Amino acid sequence: MLDDVTRVKRLPVAMPVAASNRRLGRRKDAQAESVVQEALLAQWMTEAFARCRPEGVFGSLAIVDNDGHKVTLSDASVIENDGVARLLAKCQHAWLAVATIGPELAAWVNQAMAAGDGAKAVVADAVGSETVEAAMDVLQSYAGTTLRRRGWQLSSKRFSVGYGGWDLSAQALFFSWLPLTDMGLRLTPSAIIEPEKTITAIAGIRNS
């Protein structure tokens, strides 16, 4: 486990209405077909957001080596991914974070889907996805501010396991770095983190 772990049990995230609508493909100016439909959409969003418990944790490790393809960290863990290596170029430390919204929303989405209420499920799923992204934004913003005051700069970009070819097996690293089990998170045999709406992130820290 990292020495400098910061856990935030309740991240202040506002309901991501605009982002959720964008994710669902709604145009900014699009009106619903009826007052009832518009009210339903708003109600589902509110109900979904009420089931999100945004939480996060982060820490950092010194970068020992970065050859442009492979990054070695001070705990001897190795990340083999060109994108991550690019992101961490010229950085002295790697910022490592996980954000989650907890299990409640996923259960609600499944329940809605099982009841044949696909529209509600899809709206709730979008709210969950955007809420966890917003939670990570808050976490990164907080870390960036505190690091800046100590003379460091946190990259504004971040990279997540599972994207850009970064193999899912790397999710296990986050369990070794951060107290994810204490947060109720679990790694499946297929290297997927449950509950579903959980994201990992790595970003770079350098001298400013």
Residue of 79, 103, 125, 177 interacting with other proteins (CB under 8 A): 125
Task: Report the amino acid identity of residue 162.
Answer: G
Residue 186 has φ and ψ, to the nearest 5°, of -140, 145
Helix, coil or strand: residue 127: helix
Among 2, 17, 113, 187, the residue binding other proteins under the rule CB under 8 A is: 113
Taking CB under 8 A as the binding criterion, the range among 59-67, 68-76, 96-104, 156-164 that sits at the site for other proteins is 156-164
| Residue 41 in contact with other proteins, rule: CB under 8 A | yes
Residue type, 74: S
Establish if 52 lies at the interface with other proteins (CB under 8 A): no
**Main-chain phi, psi angles of 207, to 5 degrees:** -60, 140
187 binding other proteins? (CB under 8 A):
no
Instruction: Examine residue 26 and tell whether it contacts other proteins (CB under 8 A).
Output: yes
Instruction: Give residues with Cβ within 8 angstroms of 195, minimum separation 6.
Output: 100, 101, 102, 103, 106, 184, 185
**Tokens 């910022």, residue located:** 95
Binding site for other proteins (CB under 8 A): 6-14, 21, 24-27, 30, 32-37, 39-41, 44, 90, 109, 113, 116-119, 121-123, 125, 138, 141-142, 145-146, 148-153, 162-168, 188, 190-192, 194, 196, 206-208
